[in-house]
Amino acid sequence: MDIKVSDLVEAKRQIDSTLNKLRETVKTLEAKENPNRYKSQITLARRRIEAFEISVFLIEREINDLGK
């Protein structure tokens, strides 16, 4: 698959946007009166955050490798 640096940069931008929204979602749910009620949603959001953080790391590494 032929992926351009510009494609990777755009993918990273989109993932960063989603990461910000997920982090805000976790903050909101944890601030609720009874956060235990939202435990599964918080766990899911945290797992997604971890997955997206790994994706960003790999994308950044690929951008650096392609730039060399």
- Residue-wise pLDDT for 7-38, tens only, equals 999 999 999 999 999 999 999 999 999 999 99
Which pLDDT value is given to residue 2? 85
Which pLDDT value is given to residue 1? 77
3-state secondary structure of 61: helix
Dump pLDDT digits (tens) for 32-61. 999 999 999 999 999 999 999 999 999 999
Q: Which domain holds residue 29?
A: 5-67
The total number of structural domains that make up the chain? 1
The token pair that represents 46 in the structure block: 């945290």
- First-to-last alpha carbon distance for the chain, in angstroms, is 19
pTM (whole model) above 0.85: yes
